């Protein structure tokens, strides 16, 4: 074989190697770009996904539960004959009135309860929940009245305050538990996915109308402020000290 033929063969092999290298490089770049785009799209979708109506309502129950813990602390203070500052009563009951009763429960009454009644599902439960909402509002109204006093010091007022708070806790712990475990999970069974998604938009719209952006976070901060004043904000203090 002539040297020229050998050289031309080497050149051809080198060209094919370069083309192969470039082709592989382009393929890798393309796969990386597609994968990266898909990943970013997935991240963006995850960020844009809103929680569903049941999860939203359950999250709001977290605020209710934290106020119930504050109410528990009031009961311990009253049992120990410690003074309860009226402004803390007003602040706590005010959160219940504004966020729970006038917003959260209105969401349930306007958007959830009628759908269950129309579908003839869980109607007995809905009837009880409605009645408990009304009783809760009566209790909150009386707590707000007690909070207007300069100091809750009279024995009669202390006894009334303790009775009202205990009744509220006694009703709302099973109330919210039944909603979380029975009513809310059943919502998907009685409405279409489109209606379900639309309901979430309705919830968000009303929250923004009433409280602006970050309404939930606003009330979380309010609850935390009361907890800090009472000295019950630090979660670690609730850890039991049980020896193994």
Pair (92, 8) in one structural domain: no
* Chain segment 59-108, per-residue pLDDT in tens: 999 999 999 999 999 999 999 999 899 999 999 999 999 999 999 999 99
pLDDT at 153: 64
Q: Which of 83, 100, 223 is nearest to 171 (CA)?
A: 100
With bands split at pLDDT 50, 70 and 90, how would you rate the model's confidence at 16? low
How does 27-46 read in b/e, with b if 16+ C-beta sit within 10 Å? eeeeeeeeeeeeeeeeeeee
Place of tokens 């991240």: 43
In a domain, 69, yes or no: yes
pTM over 0.85: no
CB atoms within 10 A of CB 212: 9
Q: 34 or 77, which is more confident?
A: 77
Pair (186, 222) in one structural domain: yes
Percent of the chain with pLDDT over 70: 77
In a domain, 243, yes or no: no
In a domain, 218, yes or no: yes
* Chain segment 188-214, per-residue pLDDT in tens: 999 999 999 999 999 999 999 999 988
CA 70, CA 121: separation in Å to the nearest integer? 35
Whether 9 has a pLDDT exceeding 80, the answer reads no
- Residue-range definition of the domain harbouring residue 80: 50-234
pLDDT at 157: 86
Residues facing 46 on adjacent strands: none
* Chain segment 107-125, per-residue pLDDT in tens: 999 999 999 999 999 999 9
Whether 43 has a pLDDT exceeding 70, the answer reads no
CA 223, CA 66: separation in Å to the nearest integer? 7
* Chain segment 70-81, per-residue pLDDT in tens: 999 999 999 999
Pair (95, 210) in one structural domain: yes
In angstroms, what CA-CA distances link 48 with 52, 124, 203? 12, 37, 16
């Amino acid at each position: 074989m002539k040297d020229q033929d050998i050289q031309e063969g080497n050149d051809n092999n080198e060209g094919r190697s370069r083309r192969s290298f470039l082709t592989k490089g382009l393929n890798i770049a393309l796969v990386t770009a597609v994968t990266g785009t898909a990943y970013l799209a997935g991240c963006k979708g995850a960020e844009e996904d809103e929680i569903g109506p049941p999860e939203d309502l359950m999250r709001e129950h977290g605020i209710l539960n934290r106020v119930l813990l504050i109410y528990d602390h009031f009961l311990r203070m009253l049992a120990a004959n410690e003074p309860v500052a009226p402004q803390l009563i007003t602040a706590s009951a005010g959160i219940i009135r504004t966020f729970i009763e006038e917003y959260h429960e209105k969401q349930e009454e306007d958007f959830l309860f009628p759908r269950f009644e129309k579908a003839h599902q869980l109607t007995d439960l809905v009837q009880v929940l409605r009645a408990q909402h009304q009783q809760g509002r009566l209790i909150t109204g009386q707590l707000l009245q007690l909070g207007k006093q300069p100091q809750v010091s009279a024995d009669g007022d202390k006894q009334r305050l303790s009775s009202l708070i205990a009744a509220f806790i006694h009703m709302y712990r099973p109330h919210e538990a039944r909603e979380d475990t029975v009513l809310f999970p059943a919502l998907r069974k009685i409405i279409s996915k489109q209606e379900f998604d639309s309901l979430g938009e309705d919830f968000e719209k009303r929250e923004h109308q009433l409280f602006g952006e970050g309404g939930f976070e606003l009330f979380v901060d309010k609850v935390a402020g009361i907890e800090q004043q009472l000295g019950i904000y630090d979660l670690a203090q609730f850890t039991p000290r049980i020896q193994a």
